[in-house]
Amino acid sequence: MTTKSLADYDQVIQLDPNDAAAYYNRGDAKSALDDKQSAIQDYKKAADLYKQQGKTFLYQLAVDNMKKLSKQ
């Protein structure tokens, strides 16, 4: 992942602030760049959106990623 990837996800989120996948993927990118706190924030936003959308499995993935990063 690169900062270009982050900029792409930022743009998607700006266009559609309810795009849970963009928050999730940006969380992955930030995690890969070792920006744990920002990654956790993105996973939390993704989890909130997935929960609102009734996407239980994806919600749980986001929560699991938050927990994993919190323990590191």
Lookup: tokens for 55: 């996407």
Q: Can you give the CATH number for the domain in which 47 is found?
A: 1.25.40.10
Confidence (pLDDT) at 2? 63
Structure tokens at 6: 């982050």
- Can you give the pTM of this predicted structure? 0.93
pLDDT of residue 57: 98
User: Which structure tokens are listed for 11?
Assistant: 């743009």
Q: Supply the range of the domain harboring residue 60.
A: 3-71
pLDDT tens digit sequence for 32-52: 999 999 999 999 999 999 999
Range 18-32 average pLDDT: 96
User: For residues 69 and 27, what is the distance between their CA atoms, to the nearest angstrom?
Assistant: 11
The number of distinct structural domains making up the chain is: 1
Within 8 A by CB and 6+ apart from 17, the residues are none
Residue 1 confidence (pLDDT) above 60 = no
